[in-house]
Amino acid sequence: MEISGIILAGGKSSRMGQDKGLMEFNGKKLVEYAIKLLNPICSEILIISNQSGYDGFGNQVVSDNFQGCGPIGGLEAGLKKVETDWNIVISCDTPFLQKELFVEMMNEISNQDAIIPTHSKGIEPLAGIYHKRLSTFFEEKIKADDLKLRKIIKEKNVFVFEAQKLVRQFPDIFYNLNSPEDLSR
């Protein structure tokens, strides 16, 4: 089965003070961690960003269709643009995500709308697998100004994937870098 990758790199980065995806962490830009993770498992990778600077990574860069909507805007734009039914969606600020998570979640694909991991600290909607058909749902929610992703995905047929075993194996798997202090951690 072909699956695409959608990297959300369009956030405001207000706590970081600059575009997170283009910041260096251990010698690589954060977006490069996402690309490296997705390359072996995805047939195409889109970078969703309204900022310049992402053209040099060899992947298509897509702007939000609706500005200022947060992650739901990036999801809508990415899902509308991809050709594949199933798509891995990750944010650019999670350099510790592991391929094993997505390989295991891909084994759960059937007739649901999305597969989202959960663990002891909650669900991780920005490390999930989404069906292309959700682009219309996200567009409707944006137009209704209903932008809370964790809330609205409960309205769809979502398979919640138990990822606690992977958290034990990779304790930082879902850790995201939101501030300069996180980068120096």
User: 120-161, pLDDT tens digit by residue?
Assistant: 999 999 999 999 999 999 999 999 999 999 999 999 999 999
User: Mean pLDDT over all residues of the chain?
Assistant: 92
Residue 16 — very low, low, confident or very high, per pLDDT cuts 50/70/90? very low
Strands (DSSP E) found in the chain: 3-8, 24-25, 28-29, 44-48, 60-62, 86-91, 114-119, 122-123, 127-131, 158-162
Q: What is the mean pLDDT of residues 108-117?
A: 96
Domains in the chain with CATH codes? 3-184 (3.90.550.10)
> At residue 32, what are phi and psi to the nearest 5 degrees?
-65, -30
> For residue 15, is pLDDT > 70?
no
User: 78-90, pLDDT tens digit by residue?
Assistant: 999 999 999 999 9
**What's the predicted TM-score (pTM) here?**
0.93
Question: 44 burial class (0-12, 13-18, 19+ CB within 10 angstroms)?
Answer: middle
Instruction: Look at residues 180, 12, 36 and name the one whose alpha carbon lies nearest to residue 98.
Output: 36
Residue 52 — very low, low, confident or very high, per pLDDT cuts 50/70/90? confident
Indicate the length of the chain as a whole number: 185
